[in-house]
Structure 1
């Protein structure tokens, strides 16, 4: 998870530019998808990729995720760990280890 310093620096950067006014949950969710598509574009033509470009696009995705968490008033650590517990239940080790099968098909 991003450090408190990273989050505070990001918030200060945004405040200095008065950009929070544009950070509705809808706009931020759209921006996450747009930036995720740009990240995916780095791999569009095969497994070769530019490490720096991937890092830049990943930073954009994470930045918008941090903003969205802030606007929604959620703690990223808390929601990630909660979701991990849900996923742990859906994908028990004894059924899911080494498999990419969807949880609804694990017993098949």
Structure 2
């Protein structure tokens, strides 16, 4: 996945629709949170086993919500001047240092 190319495509959509005015870090964070809540809703009230075996339509819906969350996070990184690859790699290295045996 080329995150830079994805971000450029997102920015093209944003600019074509004059949405930049709404893409503050605060608003993007709130939007990502709303999309995450929509993902949570798919799993609400399911058992552990059910959550691992979603029907095809619910699995597709989960994928759409995951995509929404990731796209908002890409936009947020761009607004904050953060490189998503670097941020994720640094966090994974920290997690490995703390928890890998």
TM-score by length of 2: 0.83
Runs of 4+ in 1 over 6 A off after TM superposition: none
Q: Any stretches of 5+ residues in structure 2 without a counterpart?
A: none
Q: Greater shift after overlay, 75-84 or 2-11?
A: 2-11
Q: Which has the higher contact order (CA 8 A, sep 6+)?
A: 2
CA RMSD, 1 decimal: 1.4
Q: Any stretches of 5+ residues in structure 1 without a counterpart?
A: 94-108
Equivalences, count: 93
TM-score by length of 1: 0.78
Larger Rg: 1
Partner residue, 1:58: 66
Q: What is the aligned counterpart of 1:72 among 68, 74, 80?
A: 80
